[in-house]
Structure formats: structure tokens, C-alpha cells
């Protein structure tokens, strides 16, 4: 069913599933919380799962003005403070991953463990440079518009407005430096497809830059990896969220620094 909470200018919709420690799932651009349907059941068996819709997405109405990642980050911080009121596990995909990455950088006190799926830290790492120049709203409406129309309070025709705002955002942001990711204190799982929207070099740079990171590359998948191999994705995510790190036999990246 879901419910609404007023977070500043945004009347944010969210739903809840399961019980246990809080886990927030944040979807990517031009989709909504239904994106996680292949993953929700197994996660809700272990956690109290919250599934908010981003501003202008799904059941959440679209506020006036352009989108920025900082505004979305502020929304997520307000959601954690207002609805959950304690540190939570965070899992984001694509746009949602970058938003939650910024939450972890700006408000580490709100984050337990962090899962970042298919969300890079800079457009310099895009696998296809200049791809935003061919932002085809007609094709996107044909592909994603019908699902949007099923739940949006703004009506089916507003999808074109949403797509234009996301297209404008994707031309401007993000452009973080890898060094900035050192602010992430949470234990972090970096997960990408082996044929994703970011280059594998960018993925490796991201993994290297986050101090307490673990890396998963899901083979034979694309940006839709959570749908393409949900069982594998779910197993990796649940292992990360429920198990402590194992003592590895031959650590190199994680080897203790030599005392001088």
C-alpha cells in the first residue's frame, strides 16, 4: 500500500516490508521502487526494508525546478532522519547508488553498511562518452512510460518532463574526484555488471578509493543486473549485509600497514 511523508518540498512515498534491522533500497532514474521486485522478497526475510520513490518518480509527485544530486541527497537524509531515526543499511542502484554514496560521505552517522550497485562517481567514467547527447525521450517514453503511468500522481504525460529533467541532470552531474570517496566510513559493497554503463577502470578506481570496500562484478549482465541475475545478486548482497568479513589467507590490499 505505502504511505507518504513530507520531506521539505517533497511529499515522498515509501513502502515497508519485513522486520529486523532497517534497510533502505533506492532505485535509479525514471523507474521506481518496483525496480527491486526481484530482490525484495529475500531481503525482506532478513530486514525491515524501506522502499522510497525518488522525487518525481513512481508515486512521489514532481516538485518544481530542476533536479540536482544534492537535492536528492537531502531528500534521502531527511528520510533517514524522519522515518527511520537511526543508522540503516543502504542499497542504491544507478542514480540511487550515487545519492546514497553522497549520504555516506555527508552523514556517516546515518549509515551502517552500504551497497552501491551500478552507480559511478563521475561522468568521466561513462562507458560511452557523449551518450547523453543522444537522449531520446520518445524511445524512453515507449520503454518506461507505461510503468510510470500506472502509479504517477502527475499523470502519464508528465513522463516527458521527468525524462527531460533526468537528461539535464545526467549532462551536468556527477563529477566527483576519486579522492573524495575517502570520506565514506561505512563498510561498502561496490557491485557492477561486467557490461555496465561505467568502464571497468572506473569501477576499479571507485573500489580503490573507498577505504573499507569490497568488490563484486556480476558476470554476463548489464545495467539491469538486479533483474538479469537476481538470485546471484541477492546472495551476494545478503552475504555482505549479514556476515562479518572473513580473515583472508593472503591479504594484499587489506594487509596491515607496516609499522615504521
Q: Give the least confident one: 7-21, 131-145, 182-196, 202-216.
A: 131-145
Superfamily name and number for 3-242: Alpha/Beta hydrolase fold, catalytic domain (3.40.50.1820)
- What count of residues does the chain have? 260
> Per-residue confidence at 258, pLDDT binned at 50, 70, 90?
low
Average pLDDT over residues 176-180: 97
Distance between CA atoms of residues 13 and 165, nearest Å: 19
Which single residue is written with the C-alpha cell 543499511? Answer: 89
Domain boundaries, the chain: 3-242
Euclidean distance between the first and the last CA atom of the chain, given in angstroms as a whole number: 59
> Per-residue confidence at 255, pLDDT binned at 50, 70, 90?
confident
How many Å separate Cα 89 from the centre of its chain? Answer: 12
Query: Cα dihedral sign for 78, 79, 80, 85?
Result: positive
> Residue 217: what pLDDT?
98
Q: pLDDT for 72-114, tens place per residue?
A: 999 999 999 999 999 999 999 999 999 999 999 999 999 999 9
**pLDDT over threshold 70, residue 29:** yes
Q: pLDDT for 30-53, tens place per residue?
A: 999 999 999 999 999 999 999 999
Amino acid at each position: 500500500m505505502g504511505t507518504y511523508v513530507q520531506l521539505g518540498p517533497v511529499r515522498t512515498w515509501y513502502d515497508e516490508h519485513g522486520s529486523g534491522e532497517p534497510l533502505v533500497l533506492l532505485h535509479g532514474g525514471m523507474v521506481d521502487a518496483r525496480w527491486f521486485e526481484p530482490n525484495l522478497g529475500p531481503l525482506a526475510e532478513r530486514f525491515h526494508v524501506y522502499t522510497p520513490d525518488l522525487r518525481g518518480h513512481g508515486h512521489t509527485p514532481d516538485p518544481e525546478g530542476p533536479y540536482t544530486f544534492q537535492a536528492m541527497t537531502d531528500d534521502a537524509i531527511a528520510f533517514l532522519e524522519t522515518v527511520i531515526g537511526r543508522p540503516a543499511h543502504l542499497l542504491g542502484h544507478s542514480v540511487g547508488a550515487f545519492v546514497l554514496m553522497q549520504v555516506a560521505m555527508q552523514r556517516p552517522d546515518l549509515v551502517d553498511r552500504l551497497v552501491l550497485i551500478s552507480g559511478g562517481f563521475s561522468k568521466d567514467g561513462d562507458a560511452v562518452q557523449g551518450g547523453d547527447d543522444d537522449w531520446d525521450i520518445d524511445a524512453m517514453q515507449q520503454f518506461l512510460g507505461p510503468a510510470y503511468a500506472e502509479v504517477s500522481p502527475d499523470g502519464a504525460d508528465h513522463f516527458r518532463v521527468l525524462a527531460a529533467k533526468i537528461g539535464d541532470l545526467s549532462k551536468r552531474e556527477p563529477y566527483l574526484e576519486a579522492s573524495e570517496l575517502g570520506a565514506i566510513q561505512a563498510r561498502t559493497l561496490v557491485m557492477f555488471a561486467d557490461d555496465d554503463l561505467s568502464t571497468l577502470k572506473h569501477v576499479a578506481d571507485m573500489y580503490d578509493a573507498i577505504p573499507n570496500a569490497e568488490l563484486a562484478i556480476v558476470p554476463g549482465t548489464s545495467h539491469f543486473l538486479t533483474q538479469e541475475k537476481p538470485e546471484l545478486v541477492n546472495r551476494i548482497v545478503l552475504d555482505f549485509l549479514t556476515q562479518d568479513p572473513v580473515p583472508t589467507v593472503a591479504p594484499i590490499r587489506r594487509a596491515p600497514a607496516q609499522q615504521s
